[in-house]
Amino acid sequence: MIETTVRPTQNLTGTLIAPPSKAYSQRMLISSSLSKGRSIISNPLFSEDTKATLSAVKSLGANVTINDNSWIVDGSLPLTGKSKPIDCGESGATLRFILPVCALAMGSSTLTFAKSLERRPISPLLQSLQDLGVKTENKKNGKKPEILVHGGGINGGKTSIKGDVSSQFISGLMFACPLARLNTVITLKTPLESTGYVKMTREVLENHGVFISIYDKFNQIKIQSNQKYTKHDCKVPGDFSSAAFLLAAAAITNSKITVQNLDYSTLQGDKAILAILDQMGAKLKIIKDQIILEGHKGFLKPIDVDAREIPDLVPICSVLACYANGISKIHDAHRLRYKESDRLLSLYLELRKMGADISMSENSLTVKGSCGLNGALIDPHNDHRIAMACAVAALGAKGETKIQNSECVRKSYPRFFEDLKKIGAEIIGW
């Protein structure tokens, strides 16, 4: 376990390159693995979660050559089932995306995953797969949970599923159902949240020649059967989810930094961080593929954040709220209870340690700023976004902050602490 110390920093400066998008990297990899021919993915993210997706598609037959800054993927159809378990690690996206894909294999496959994923919902996806003719079984093998997927293909047909539990369920079905025997109709029983991620999946699929029809404000999705994936070369864009921590670090220290490799035309919902920072009074410039943040005058302004479309921004928005002059509310955040940790509870506990005036309800956080944070010993609850959020909070706090188990940032942003050091943050133990 790595313990990293973050000391307060009055001024950050410099230029950083945003890490590649984890969400795009995983989607492009799965689509390429289902395509006929060779696809080249440039600028992919190398992280714990993308390693899990890489391992999964290779287990199902894809041939992936890894170069310094690309993945060369030779498609794997027809898929073959694997008697050896496919380990999804702690990647919820890998589990939810690959599970329906395994149903396309000729034989059975077993998916295993870390116990930390047991608390994250999966049963709605299993029920939808059952509706579409796929048999699955929950199993236990020693300490790790497993799901057995009986292959042989997907019949297709009709299914219904909640849209406010995880958009990854929808994306998983979108990957597999174009190869079903019959057309598939997915009806959303509750409004879809994180629609940006479903749009992202559709965009990647269309680049590979697969088309999905979405109707009635995402209330219904129709997928034509017997489609064919085609090879496609692509470049992974920079990740706004990760860049949000860098931009927030500059905002709370009233600093000027430039973050490159950020395309504002992307479908990533988390580019909303720019509008949030603007509302709080930070000075932003968007120039081509880079964002320049030039600090702010006086205190940051409080915010009201609806988390339904941007759950991954809640940790850093909570930190920004600590440095705002007034009461901020982050609401409609119930899905954060089922992330890598119970993120609402984790934020409440850890920011309170630092002196935040924060309260919590079932689906919201309220922060009374400016809080005047102090250094503390932080337990990130094995959650990469909690670790990064508290590291950013520490930059403006009095005294040093120690973050236990800080290696959990490798899940999505392995170079996070190195990047903070590049722009002047005093980081010890990493």
DSSP one-letter string for 230-282: B---EEPPB-HHHHHHHHHHHHHTT-EEEEES--TTS--GGGHHHHHHHHTT-
Give Cα separations from 317 to 39, 59, 300, 330, 367 (angstroms): 37, 38, 12, 8, 10
The angle, 0 to 180 degrees and rounded to 10, between the axes of the packed helices 384-395 and 314-322 is: 20
**Nearest alpha carbon to residue 320 among 220, 392, 381:** 392
Concerning whether 312 is annotated as a catalytic residue, the answer is yes
- Which position among 312, 379, 383, 419 bears the catalytic label? 312
Secondary structure of residue 184 in the 3-state scheme: strand
Radius of gyration of the chain (CA): 21
**Neighbour count for residue 399 (Cβ, 10 Å):** 12
Dist CA 153 CA 176 (whole Å): 9
Dist CA 430 CA 424 (whole Å): 14
Query: Encoding tokens for residue 342?
Result: 């119970």
185 half-sphere exposure, CB direction, 13 A CA radius: 7
Query: Encoding tokens for residue 150?
Result: 């009986």
Residue type, 194: S
End-to-end, the C-alpha distance of the chain in Å comes to: 11
Judge contact between 378 and 402, C-beta under 8 A: yes
Query: Encoding tokens for residue 248?
Result: 């927030």
Which residues are annotated as catalytic? Answer: 312
